[in-house]
Amino acid sequence: MIARRQASAGARIFSIVAALLAALEGCALSSPASAPARQPAPPASLTSPLTQGNEARILVDGPATHAAMRAAIARARDHVNLESYIVDDSPVGERLAELLKKKAAQGVKVNLLYDSVGSIKTPREFFERLRKAGIAVCEFNPVKREPAKLNNRDHRKILVVDGRVAFTGGVNISETYASGSARARSQPGKERDRKDGWRDTHVQVEGPVVAQLQRLSLDAWALQDCGPAPEARYFPPLERRGDKAMRVVRTDPDSGKSEMYAVLLDQIGKARSRVWLTMGYFVPDPRTKEALMQAARRGVDVRLVLPGFSDFWAPVYAGRSHYEDLLGAGVRIYEWHEALMHAKTAVIDSAWSSVGSTNLDWRSFVHNYEDNLVVQDAGFARQMEQRFREDVAASVEVDPAAWRARRPGEKLKEWFARQWEYLL
């Protein structure tokens, strides 16, 4: 059980160590401040167009997300495409595996794409059993076969069923999601004992935008040496399912471009009333940090809900090294301490929202394959704002005066972590 709880932390540390080794091999490790060319690069245009006629349902935490995913898979008639950074062999993973094997036995084409580093703790026998059951299984950038790509991880979490319903967000197939964050918050104990019941957000969608998530998942499969995906009706005609405008934005290290970076900077720059962000990992690059500060200075209500602890200490302290500047500009910062915050969401001006896998850090904007669902709809934004208010109510606001008076030891940790923020 302990090993399962540490899987995510181990995977992230593995990626960072790999990046350090690669950088040291070329004797070219430099900090973001001294290497402006390494800034995340916005694309000239977005890959996917804004589509009309969609519907979306917000899913809060692991139990609700996994239940909705299993219900959709149980109804599958043609195919199931599952792409996840972590797929473990916990009861959560085993329950899903049994359902996938059942659907494969019924003649449904089932494809599973998992990340080699994210799922590094999962026994290979787990995936072999799925292969023997007729499921197409693909390992993304295998550690042993692709050493040059160790730092480029598939951090996406996408499920598409029959090309008609899709899911994406921050929830992995992992034991850490066996219970919800409300249960974790209700149990007394120290933070280090509260790494179950992670707080996360996922979204279920129907309508034309499903084809964009399908395309992204199939493209990720095609990047690997796993052969073609089994033939299926991956792109059926899609009718209107609602009235929401949506698009999928991606980060792709192969192209060196981050669409989410571009759209988020654009929306923050245009914001007039509020910018509310919830981020599981927060290590901002200079442009994003300045955009947040400028928004606060022009009177925008800029608020950040961030983790008060994490599965790896360094990103938390690297993010905290930026607090003083942000607080000084009028940004309000809240930290979750009662359960591990892992969500990656944004809601801006009560009209524009995003749910996905992209953190606000260098790793997501530069190194990883990521995806986010962007929703331009006032009704959906109101739901996101209500969720944000509930997260704020469960958080502790960082007081600027108290923050300036924090202990020297904390400042030293922040300084040390910040030296490696490009790799975190």
Cβ atoms within 10 A of the Cβ of 68, count?
A: 18
From 123, 107, 112, select the one nearest 4 (Cα to Cα).
Answer: 123
Question: Which stretches of 75-211 are assigned E, i.e. beta strand?
Answer: 79-84, 109-115, 136-140, 157-161, 165-169, 201-206
CA distance 215 to 221: 10
User: One of 157, 322, 367, 413 is an active-site residue; which one?
Assistant: 157
Q: Is 361 considered catalytic here?
A: no
Which residue's structure tokens are 């509310």? Answer: 276
Q: Is 66 considered catalytic here?
A: no
| Positive or negative: CA dihedral 27, 253, 344, 162 | negative
- Neighbouring-strand partners of residue 278: 305, 345
- State the DSSP code for 290: H
User: One of 61, 89, 154, 162 is an active-site residue; which one?
Assistant: 162
Q: Is 322 considered catalytic here?
A: no
3-class DSSP state for residue 274?
strand
Q: Is 344 considered catalytic here?
A: yes
Q: Is 311 considered catalytic here?
A: no
Q: Which residues contact 217 (CB under 8 A, 6 or more apart)?
A: 81, 83, 113, 156, 158, 160
- Rounded-to-10 torsion of CA 56, 348, 345, 59: -30
User: One of 78, 301, 325, 349 is an active-site residue; which one?
Assistant: 349
From 86, 60, 102, select the one nearest 198 (Cα to Cα).
Answer: 60
Q: Is 196 considered catalytic here?
A: no
Are 305 and 392 in contact by the 8 Å Cβ rule? The answer is yes
The number of residues making up the chain comes to 424
CA distance 424 to 417: 9
User: One of 66, 109, 155, 367 is an active-site residue; which one?
Assistant: 155
CA distance 417 to 45: 34
Q: Which two tokens stand for residue 237?
A: 């005609």
Are 297 and 328 in contact by the 8 Å Cβ rule? The answer is no
- State the DSSP code for 364: I
Positions marked catalytic: 155, 157, 162, 342, 344, 349
